[in-house]
Chain A
Amino acid sequence: MTTPPTRRGIAVEQAVVHGLLAALGLGAFVMALDYGLFLEESRVGPGLVPAVVGGLIALIAGWELVTTLRGHRTPHDRGLAEVVAATAVDAPSGGASSERATPGGVPAGGSGSMSPDGGPVQMPGPGPGPGPGPDDVDIFGRTPEERSRQLWTVSAALVVAALLVPLLGLLGSLLVLSVFISAVVEKRGWLPSLVVSFLAVAAVYGVFVGFLGVPLPTGLIGIGG
């Protein structure tokens, strides 16, 4: 069976994550040995739980890494493969099967991760699949590449906003964040973006500062607080 490119992408990411987890587990295990597994009189010491847990993580993630590298036969992937096979049988069109296997279309959509045994759910959305496929655009006409770019833009904006807090204050930098997301990421006009963001920040101010009395940091130029 040929692997669609997106499937390979997921497999690579899986390999990376399992590799990282294995390293994390191993690191924790080694450090935990230093903390001491047992105290005097064979009492449970500070290192015991982290060592056992870390060791198990290293073993399991290491095993998953090896199986992922050898032809993607992880239990998870097998689940995915079966889904693909099942949908291929159900729906005669080849397009459906590749749709289900796109990164955006991981089984069970948004919260599939929390319902590992849940099958793909019919998402009310465009098209028959659980999410937009590789060639699909979402309802705002965005391609997957655009969405990927948006994702990283928003993530970076979050980090930048947090870094700006000492300068602009929490509400100040959140205002900037909100305007940025509305205007640049969601491509709404500057005026509506400003108005909506200002209202949102005012609402947050009202609830948290006005009502709950949380002292928010004002930053150097002293917005909010």
Chain B
Amino acid sequence: MLDNLVLGFSTALSVENLLWCFVGVLVGTVIGVLPGLGSTTGVAVLLPLTLSLEPVTGLIMLAGIYYGSQYGGTITSVLISTPGEASSVVTTLDGYQMARQGRAGAALSIAAIGSFVAAIISLALLVALAPPFAEFALDFGPPEMLAVMILGLATIISFAGDNRVLGLLMALVGLLIATVGVDPGSGTSRFTFGSIYLLSGIPFVEVMIGLFAVGEVLYQIRQGAAAPIRAGFRELMISREDLRRSGGPILRGSFLGFLFGILPGAGSTLASFMAYGIEKRVSKRGKEFGTGAIEGVAAPEAANNAAANANFVPTLTLGIPGGATTAVLLGAFMIYGIQPGPLLFDEQPTLVWGLLASFFIGNVILLFLNLPLAPVFAQLLRVPYGYMYPLILLTSLVGAYSITNGMYSVWVVLVFGIIGYFMKRLDLPMAPLVLGLVLGPLFEKALVQTSAIGDGNLLIVFTRPLALAVMAIAILQVAAPTIMARLLRRRATPRSRRSDPADSTPEGSSRG
């Protein structure tokens, strides 16, 4: 083990690899900041550029782009409520509110710190325990995944507080949108109306750019330009109190993220939504979530970063991609002529350990890059919105185009931009819709597979111990809020009475 780490670091610390790691992280951050480009697109688009490099160097750079762009996506989530990918949608909930209150610097700092801690924890787990975790992940067959998806859909409860019915409605709309295209079981084309573009479904990255980036711009135009946010330097810095509050959420988020991340599929998104939901439950400040609670940024950021690293567990140990981006990275392995699979660690120790060591280095670079830069990025909010939004529109549209090299993506962005505007105007919650859209295909696939494995009997979910356990957690999650809420209210009521009347949570609205 120690030999391997030494080998890894000696590989990753070579001048060339260090340089390309830095370049990857930096480029990744920039890509993540551009509305419309997320890690999957970023890695896919830049893959050809790395072909001239040594395999290990190229992979180090691509991996740098992967986690760099996740951080870049956080920056836009916080500053302009435009997540780069589904896994940072949750960050917008509290991150953007913090930014509106002049605390963007703190939000970005805690995201950097949370991501860093999560990265280190998950990497340690990855290095020490990848093979057993990979074995564990294999036990998750279709019935277990079906239970996990039900668990994921149950988190909608956490995002629907007051408007539980509307939250459910939006999640259902997300699920319905997800059914467009060829069905996973029989190959029937559904709701395609003869269009070839709809055969593979409505592409969710484009939907996200539309709803969040374009929808937010349109909404801000109608809303009227708010004064640029001028925060004092002290407010831009993260306070000791912030750090104290975030410790628990970051740790819980990291472990949760790692667990979900090793499951092939929607690991990162599910992890960030679950982490947010759990923090909201366990936190004493549960009611402040959604109004700029720092825990609501720390937990999901830690979770999605841990999940991103955990995605490498099945990728490296089994050669089975853990997520969309690692699937592209696996493609890169193949292009370099490296055969991923169980023998990868034995046959390519320099490559694997060099790559893993570069994760450590890359995350350290990210932390040192972003911690000082967080207050600087926060200054961007001083730019009047009238100057900023044309640029947001431009990069959104070009970014959308670059996903598939086709105008169809641009049209999807425009249509969902207008839908997004109306959703914001009518206060229809977006997070459940995104969750439904992301989990929909996975849920349906697991459902179809379970029914095939059970020979038409879906109840096998309750006969497999692991699936049953997950189902029990899901049911608990739905049933618990009523009990928990009652308990929490009893504890929390005196607290909120004591709080300042000008506090950002008037009692009327937080009554759940």
Contacts and interface: CB of A to CB of B under 8 A. Distances in A.
Q: Do chains A and B touch in the complex (CB under 8 A)?
A: yes
A108 B188 CA distance: 43
Contacts of A41: 455-456
Interface string A151-191: 10011001101100100001100100110011000100000
Interface string B392-432: 01110111011001010011001001100111111111110
Interface in A95-116: 103-104, 106-116
Interface string B497-512: 0000110111111111
Contacts of A165: 407, 410
B450 to A, nearest CB: 8
Contact of A117 (B394, B417, B452, B509): B509
A152 B23 CA distance: 41
Most chain-B CB neighbours within 10 Å: which of A49, A79, A86?
A49
Contact of B509 (A28, A75, A119, A132): A119
Nearest to A78: B162
B444 A49 contact: yes
Contacts of B506: 83, 86-87, 90, 119-120
B224 to A, nearest CB: 3
Contacts of B89: 114
Given A46-B190, A110-B219, A121 B101 contact: yes
A49 B172 CA distance: 10
B339 interface: no
A44 B443 CA distance: 12
B227 A215 contact: no
A32 B179 CA distance: 10
Interface string B246-278: 000000000000000000000000000000000
Contacts of A218: none
Contacts of B283: none
Contacts of B227: 124-126, 139
A31 B193 CA distance: 11
Interface in A26-69: 28, 31-32, 35-36, 39, 41-50, 53-54, 56-57, 60-61, 64
Most chain-B CB neighbours within 10 Å: which of A28, A46, A47, A82?
A46
Interface stretch (B43-51, B199-207, B299-307): B43-51
B448 to A, nearest CB: 5
Given A46-B190, A75-B166, A151 B221 contact: yes
A145 B182 CA distance: 44
Given A85-B508, A151-B222, A158 B414 contact: yes
B73 interface: no
Interface stretch (B92-100, B124-132, B328-336, B350-358): B92-100
Given A61-B169, A204-B394, A111 B93 contact: yes
B291 interface: yes
B185 A114 contact: no
Contacts of B390: 177-178, 181-182, 197, 200
Main secondary structure of the interface of B (DSSP, over half): helix
Nearest to A131: B223
B427 A104 contact: no
B225 A140 contact: yes
A6 to B, nearest CB: 12
Given A155-B418, A213-B48, A106 B425 contact: yes
A103 to B, nearest CB: 6
A158 B216 CA distance: 14
Given A131-B226, A186-B386, A216 B398 contact: yes
A10 interface: yes
A13 B422 contact: yes
Interface string A10-21: 100110010001
B176 A54 contact: yes
B168 interface: yes
Contacts of B100: 109-110, 121, 123-124
Interface in B75-94: 81, 89, 92-94
Given A45-B185, A147-B221, A212-B46, A53 B176 contact: yes
Contacts of B169: 21, 57, 60-61, 64
A194 interface: no
Given A75-B165, A121-B504, A132 B394 contact: no
B176 A214 contact: no
Interface size class of B (residues with CB under 8 A): 35 or more
A153 B235 CA distance: 37
A195 interface: no
A138 B186 contact: no
A104 B421 CA distance: 12
Nearest to A56: B172
A44 B456 CA distance: 7
B175 interface: yes
Given A75-B164, A116-B427, A151 B451 contact: no
A120 B221 contact: no
B242 interface: no
Interface in A132-146: 132, 136-140, 142, 144
Nearest to B511: A82
Contacts of A13: 422, 425-426
Given A41-B456, A49-B179, A75-B164, A110 B511 contact: no
Interface string B18-42: 0000000000001000100000000
Contacts of A85: 508
Contacts of B444: 49
A142 to B, nearest CB: 6
Contact of A104 (B97, B163, B222): B222
Interface string B471-512: 000000000000000000000000000000110111111111
B190 A110 contact: no
Contacts of B417: 155, 158
24 contacts: A25-B176, A35-B188, A49-B175, A49-B447, A75-B164, A79-B162, A82-B509, A103-B222, A106-B424, A106-B426, A108-B97, A110-B424, A111-B96, A114-B430, A119-B506, A119-B509, A120-B504, A126-B227, A138-B226, A162-B407, A174-B397, A181-B390, A200-B390, A213-B45
Given A41-B455, A117-B160, A214-B401, 14 more contacts: A48-B447, A75-B164, A107-B427, A110-B96, A110-B424, A114-B429, A116-B161, A116-B162, A116-B167, A121-B291, A124-B229, A139-B225, A148-B222, A181-B393
